[in-house]
Structure 1
């Protein structure tokens, strides 16, 4: 395990968990790569409990950051009228959480995107005056028009692109379906914005489409959640902005090298959420590819790698893969900096006891990935009227959640099914399920629990 530390970069460490022993003829190596970043966030400025300033706003204590808040102002935000009021209050709370020196803007989103503050295609620089001006501008928000999320994202991209900022982030709030642009237009906007900024997405109420909002967060490496009760928006927006203010470094990539004859079968993030990264590979050499991981503060994430290697005889061993964390050079020219690395090995043995043991981390996260998958399959089956299929899939989800100790997901499942026996996955579909409960389960299905080491 190697570390890299520099004054303006958190210290990263990489740990690899695997069973390196393979039986003769085996050609797949599985490993969990745990990446931990320390030293970030603590300089970003969340105040101590007795600090009257919210949050610590000492310019220069953290990297340059730029944030664009995209607020749905379509006609449906007026039903009920308190929804838009809560959205205003939440955005104001997020603005109040901005650190001094952070560049920011507020976008009002309908079937078109409009700059609410500061305007003229630019970003404001956060201080007491601009925060007050932004909150005053929020009072002018009114509901009307349709929903075209792609236009909001493209405007956010233009605004964020105007700032030379290390951390570029968006926060997007919507309450409805993306009905005023085609799915292809939204996909094109996401493709254009991917890698340029990260974005957290929130759906408020129950009239939005989970898959649409999830797709935004997934493409832009952000979090996704439901705020079923608009009264909870302010607390949620404050937490999101505190997290953004705690980020220390952006554009970190997981670089995987494999030897001649080996290839990466899949890469997925498995904690704190499940996210597929396989298709997001960017080739950086003949046998090397980078996978985006976004921005980092003080945190730890787990990744599941599967490497296909050439078959080998008993007693042979090889380096199956090298996993590195890399950061682009500050100038954008020259080679990236290596922050840390870990090694994935393969050793062929005729010791059946050694080669048949499944590493606990690999087993745990294989189950967590399956849990997310069967929840989605079960809910889709339920919506299509396949109640037997829904019962089977959601029963398997209950079994996996129970076995892995994923209490939060188990609680969400219990609002959709009656659990007869969690250990065997025996359940009955509930006759009536609140739409908010079903959407919450779907939205949060990818959240995982860490393996108990």
Structure 2
């Protein structure tokens, strides 16, 4: 285990779980990389952060104010209350703004292209401004993100974060416009996305969160918004290190099959690689507080003789350094050893096996729900049955519970299920939105 430590700064550690033994002719190396950040604190050492600024932050709250937020009228009230609760959760000194989103984006507070600095007075002023929010107009989420980016980029801070709430589909701009906005904003700030009610598009909201390295969830009952917004803001306030990248070096002749986050959610990172010199690339992981995440790295190495050993990969955690270079926070090694011991080379590491199953679980849920929507009952039954089986085997009780609202489980161990004739829309959307949430290996 390699660690980075500096007085009062968060400490990062990297642990690698793998079976390094390959049979003769074997070339595929799988490893689970556990990254843990601990022991930070608001007073973390300033020199640790980008350009020596400390763990300062700016937050933009984007609230859907389109016409549909008036149906039912309590929805808009709940959204105002939730935004007020989030503002109350801001630390003193954090920069913030509130944006009202329709087919255009409007500054609700403080206005004038500025950010406010959180204290008792500005929190109160922001909550007064929220009372004027009313519903009317369309939905063009790309414009909300671009305004948030403009406002957040004006702050001389290291952590930039957005919280986005929508209740409808992004009907007043093209998918290409939204993608262009996400491409422009990705890497500039992180963003959590929430869908309230059941009239929004799951793939749209989860796609926004994924592109912006944030979380996505459903708040089916608007009454639950305030609690959810408070939790989201508490998490945002706990972030202390921004722009952390997973750097993967591989030897000559090696090929990276994939890199994905597998806990706390499944997130494909393979296509997000940024080349950083000979045989090394960075995969973005966003901002970190006190937390632990798991990554699955799969590398195809050149063939070697029995008895040979090879460094199959070096995994480092890096942040931008003050001098324009990078600072290495922690490092772990992925190894390959060729052996004729069949027992050694055929055993699968428990961590690798577990997360391979969790990634398949997320995939078959999505495929099953897509088949159900397309009217393919047999396909939906097969895929969702496999999902029930995987959830039961891995002890993913939360996902198992969500699945039981969509299918009647006959035999969980065998994956025998029947599709329910009637499924509440909120239940189906909750399963789809949370399908990528994973559980860790039981110790």
Structure 1 length-normalised TM: 0.95
Unaligned runs of 5+ in 2: 45-51
After superposition, the CA RMSD in angstroms is 1.3
Q: Is 2:158 the counterpart of 1:158? A: no
Contact kept in structure 1, 2:39 and 2:290, CA below 8 Å: yes
Structure 1 CA distance for aligned equivalents of residues 435 and 175 of structure 2:
23
* Preserved CA contact (<8 Å) 1:202 1:213: yes
3-state SS of paired residue (1:427):
strand
Deviation at 1:257, TM superposition (A): 0.3
SS in 2 for 1:6: coil
How far apart are residue 41 of structure 1 and its match? 5.0
* Partner SS, residue 256 of structure 1: strand
1:302 shift after superposition: 0.1
1:352 aligns with 2:353: no
Q: Which of residues 386, 389, 410 is equivalent to 1:399?
A: 389
**Does the residue aligned with 1:13 lie in a helix, a strand or coil?**
strand
Q: Counterparts of 1:188 and 1:276 in 2: how far apart (Å)?
A: 20
The one of 81, 87, 111 aligned to 1:95: 87
On the 8 A contact 2:53/2:157 being kept in 1, the answer is no
CA distance in 2, matches of 1:225, 1:307: 32
Give a deviation string over 1:389-421, Cα, whole Å, max 9, x none: 000000000000000000000000000000000
Aligned to 2:177: 185
Structure 2 residue aligned with 1:11 = 11
Out of 432, 437, 440, the position equivalent to 1:442 is 432
- Per-residue CA distance 1:288-309 (angstroms, 9 max, x = gap): 0000000001000000000010
8 Å contact kept, 1:391–1:427: yes
SS at match of 2:5: strand
Aligned twin of 1:32: 32
Cα deviation code 1:239-268 (max 9, x no counterpart): 000001111100000000001111211000
Answer yes or no: is the 8 Å Cα contact 1:43–1:61 preserved in 2. no
Instruction: Give the aligned partner of residue 260 of structure 2.
Output: 268
**Distance in 2 of aligned mates of 1:171 and 1:328:** 24
- Length, aligned pairs only: 436
1:136 aligns with 2:128: yes
Q: After the TM superposition, which parts of structure 1 deviate over 4 Å for at least 4 consecutive aligned residues?
A: 41-44
- Provide structure 1 residue ranges, at least 5 long, that are not aligned to the other structure: 45-59
Alpha-carbon contact 2:8-2:39 (below 8 Å) kept: no
> Is contact 2:388–2:415 with CA below 8 Å preserved after alignment?
yes
- Name the residue aligned to 1:367: 357
Q: Which residue of 1 aligns with 2:48?
A: none
Q: Distance in 1 between matches of 2:206 and 2:41?
A: 26
**Distance in 2 of aligned mates of 1:128 and 1:71:** 22
**What is the aligned partner in structure 2 of residue 50 from structure 1?**
none
| Residue matched to 2:61 | 69
Partner of 1:415: 405
**How far apart are 1:5 and its partner, in Å?**
1.4
**TM-score, L = length of structure 2:** 0.97
Distance 2:4 2:374 in 1: 51
**Rounded Cα–Cα distance in structure 2 between residues aligned with 1:183 and 1:164:** 32
Cα distance change of structure 1 residues 283 and 9 upon mapping to structure 2, 3 Å threshold: farther
CA distance in 2, matches of 1:147, 1:162: 25
Among 197, 213, 218, the residue aligned to 2:210:
218
**Number of the residue aligned with 1:52:** none
Structure 1 residue 9: Cα displacement = 3.4
Q: Secondary structure at the match of 1:152?
A: helix
1:118 is matched with 110
